[in-house]
Amino acid sequence: MKIFTKTKNLIEYISQFRNKQIGFVPTMGALHNGHISLIKRSVQENDITIVSIFVNPTQFLENEDFDKYPKKIEADKKVCNFAGVDILFIPSKEEIYFKDELSIVAPKTKGFILEGYHRPGHFNGVLQVVLKLLNITKANKAYFGKKDAQQLYLVKKMVNELFLPTDIIECEIIRDENGLALSSRNDYLTSSEKERATKISRSLKNAAKLISNGEKSSKKIKEKIKNELQDIKIEYVEIVDRDFNIQNEIAIGDSIILIAAFVGITRLIDNIWI
Ligand code: AMP
């Protein structure tokens, strides 16, 4: 596995793979089995797999956890090597951003509802860095988790609307044995908080069961979820279609139930695709 920290060197190295199929997995590190599932899929489907580890400052708000975001760089290198990664890119902020640079603005509506409403500007930063990384890696395929459903939707929208040549591959959510969606931020949870956090995924599963038994009302499903999560500080529970329009009536094959909630001071997101 080759490791690069300089963008210029990476671009030069990649130029020899013009005739190869390149898969790319962008991450912020502190890798867990969720990331590994994306990486393994890329290794399987491509000649060359590139993984990036970059805690992107522009997608964090002032009061968020940028400074304390978990870092496990040595363990991450081992994980990548073991998973069959060919190229690991670990740039500094200066390797990615320029002074007074032009910027991408997320779509006015879909980029500023739900996650984008509670974290205003977050998706501007996400799209800015993803566009740069897709251009640097010249990936044929890039792998994103459904865990970050709105991010996945907006990245696909950007790729479509800016006519980028990369295929965006959607990957399933990986959970621990208790159903908790894996996240680097789970490292912040105490063991009792972790137990409480499992209620989030359980409530989503219960909602899916109600829906498969015929419930169609988004209002009723949202009420049920809020009832189950009374000891968790919910930021939002919402049901959208696959284009992120708020949905009043659930449609099997076209609905996503989304939750953002604080367990202690840790903000978690989870969702289920119906
Ligand atoms: P992050 O390092 O949190 O920015 O995540 C990097 C990529 O891994 C994103 O595409 C995430 O959606 C994906 N990812 C994170 N957690 C999971 C998970 N539990 N299951 C599947 N994909 C995930």
Average pLDDT of adjacent 10-residue blocks, the chain of 274 residues: 98 97 98 98 98 98 96 98 98 98 97 98 98 98 98 98 98 98 97 97 98 98 97 97 98 98 97 98
Residue 247 exposed, middle or buried by CB count within 10 Å (0-12, 13-18, 19+): buried
Nearest to 129 by CA among 154, 108, 110: 154
CA distance 87 to 143: 15
CB 237 within 8 A of CB 226: yes
Judge whether 32 counts as a catalytic residue. no
Residue ranges of the chain assigned to CATH 3.30.1300.10: 184-273
Nearest to 201 by CA among 219, 177, 185, 220: 177
Nearest to 59 by CA among 118, 125, 12: 125
Token duo for residue 103? 């910027």
Distance 166 CA to ligand 1 centre (A): 18
Token duo for residue 4? 């690069």
Residue located nearest, by CA, to atom 6 of ligand 1: 27
Token duo for residue 85? 């990664």
Token duo for residue 32? 């867990």
- On whether the 2-171 domain is CATH 3.40.50.360, my answer is no
Q: Which residues 6+ apart lie within 8 Å of 164 measured at CB?
A: 131, 134, 158
Q: Which of 24, 27, 49, 183 for mutating ligand 1's site (highest number of atoms within 8 Å of CB)?
A: 27
CA distance 24 to 48: 8
CA distance 200 to 193: 12
CB 103 within 8 A of CB 19: no
**Ligand 1 interacting residues, C-beta cut-off 6 A:** 27-28, 34-35, 37-38, 144-145, 147-148, 171, 173-174, 181-184
| pLDDT, position 244 | 98
- On whether the 184-273 domain is CATH 3.30.1300.10, my answer is yes
Going by their DSSP bridges, the two strands 141-145 and 167-171 should be labelled as parallel
Residue located nearest, by CA, to atom 22 of ligand 1: 145
Residue ranges of the chain assigned to CATH 3.40.50.620: 2-171
DSSP 3-state of 40: helix
Q: Which residue has the tokens 């970050």?
A: 148
CA distance 136 to 22: 12
| pLDDT, position 70 | 96
Distance 54 CA to ligand 1 centre (A): 13
pTM listed for this prediction = 0.98
